[in-house]
């Protein structure tokens, strides 16, 4: 700041606008316009784990559902992935190695 400059309040906030190809200064879409937007087309990659791939495949459904129904799908996918992880914890694994015998080398 320059000497003698006076501050008289908060700076003016810039106008919030959309990004992408709409152009600089284009307003954000309204809630109705956003809800009617086309599919996002977000893909998923296969993991090689059939249970995980089956659960994650549900994410493709959100492109065909109204926005207000997306949280239910996300919650279901989260629950399904949590179940897959919990099942991994309950599987018997290889036996734990036997403890090494303790030798007292003090003579």
pLDDT digits (tens, 9 = 90+) for 46-104: 899 999 999 999 888 888 888 899 999 999 999 999 999 999 887 777 777 888 877 77
* Cβ 81 vs Cβ 55: under 8 Å: yes
| Domain boundaries, given as residue ranges, for the chain | 49-91
pLDDT category, 24, cuts 50, 70, 90?
Answer: low
Does 5 have pLDDT greater than 90? no
- Distance (Å, whole) CA 85 – CA 42: 24
Model-wide pTM > 0.75? no
């Amino acid at each position: 700041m320059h000497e003698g400059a006076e501050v008289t309040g908060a700076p003016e906030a810039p106008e919030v606008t959309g990004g992408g190809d709409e152009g600089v200064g284009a307003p954000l879409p309204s809630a109705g316009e956003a809800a009617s937007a086309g599919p996002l087309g977000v893909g998923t990659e296969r993991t090689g784990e059939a249970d995980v791939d089956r659960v994650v495949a549900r994410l493709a459904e959100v492109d065909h559902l109204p926005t207000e129904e997306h949280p239910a799908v996300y919650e279901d996918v989260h629950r399904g992935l949590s179940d897959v992880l919990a099942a991994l914890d309950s599987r018997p694994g290889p036996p734990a190695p036997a403890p090494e015998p303790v030798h007292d080398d003090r003579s």
